[in-house]
Amino acid sequence: MQKRLVVDLDYCIGCKSCSSACKLTFKGENRIVVSGVETVAYLPLACRHCEDALCLRACPKEAISKDKETGIVSRSSFKCVGCTSCIYACPFGVLDSMLLRHIPDKCNLCKGDEDGPNCVSSCPTGALKFLTDEEITKVQVGKQFVSRLAFWRRK
């Protein structure tokens, strides 16, 4: 079944352990970037493996494909010509400089490793989760964050 990366904003402390785990997995550049919303929240940005992936649609060389079973959107470094169309197409800005530097492959959810993605395994607070759509509806991922946000805005 297709699983997704989920961030629990209540628990993400912006430590970037996920980034370093990803970086070391690929021995290159990390595919997950932790972005800060001031000090109120942190938002680790990784590929969403979209249902209807715009990066895939934008690619003129059919270098990007989506696996029907796992839902993983991956990019073939052989077919990619580095035109950067996908970078502009991705609405979440997760592709950023990766393609420009010609690093093979984007986030591929760690190729469906049976223990789950490394960023998730490494996350010290458990903020990053790897869940099925059904599981996602059952967890709360940012209830406390919403109240904290109001508190910080007031100040």
Partner 1 sequence: MQKVTCNFCTLGCETSLNESDIGVVDIKYSKSGANEGRLCSRGNALPIYLSANQRLTSPLRNGQEINWKDAFNEIISALKNYKASEIAITYDTNLTIEEYSLVSEFAKIKGITKLASSYIEPEHYFNYVLPDVKIANFDDVKDSKTFFIIGDLFSQFPVIAKAILDVRYCSKQNRIFVLDSFVTSTAGFADTFIKTDVGKEALVLLDMANLAKGKTDELKGGIEHSVLSGVLNSLNESEKAVVIASNSFGKTTDPMVFSGMAQYFASSLKGDKKFLWLGESASVPGNVDFSDILSGIKKKEIKCLLNFGAMSPVYYPQIWDYLDELEFMASTVTMMPELAKNRLSYLFMPTTLLTETGGTIKTFFDGEKKVINGVKPLSGTKCVGEIVYALAENKISVVSPGKPVIKELNLEEVLSRAANMVIPQGDYILMGEKTAYQFKGLFSEPIVIMNSHNAKKLKVKEGSVVEIKSSVGESEFKVNISDKVPERVLLVSTELPEARSLFELNISSGICEFPPIEVSVCKRD
Of the residues 25, 65, 76, 77, which one makes contact with partner 1 according to CB under 8 A = 25
Q: Does 138 bind partner 1 (CB under 8 A)?
A: no
Q: Does 22 bind ligand SF4 (CB under 6 A)?
A: yes
User: How far apart, in whole angstroms, are the C-alpha atoms of residue 113 and residue 107?
Assistant: 13
User: Smallest distance, Å, CB 42 to partner 1?
Assistant: 7
Q: Does 95 bind ligand SF4 (CB under 6 A)?
A: yes
- Structure tokens given for 53: 């992936």
The number of helix segments (H) and strand segments (E) in the chain equals: 6, 6
List beta partners, residue 5. 130
Rg (CA), the chain: 16
Interface stretch with partner 1, choices 48-56, 71-79, 86-94, 117-125 (CB under 8 A): 117-125
The H or E element spanning position 153 is helix 143-154
Q: Does 137 bind partner 1 (CB under 8 A)?
A: no
Quote the DSSP letter at residue 122.
H
Q: Does 25 bind ligand SF4 (CB under 6 A)?
A: yes
Q: Does 32 bind partner 1 (CB under 8 A)?
A: no
Q: Does 152 bind partner 1 (CB under 8 A)?
A: yes
Instruction: Output the CA–CA distances (angstroms, integers) from residue 25 to 54, 107, 126, in the order listed.
Output: 26, 11, 19
Q: Binding residues for ligand SF4, per CB under 6 A? A: 7, 12-18, 21-22, 25, 31-32, 34, 42, 44, 46-50, 53-55, 73, 90, 92, 94-95, 107-110, 117-119, 123, 125, 127-128
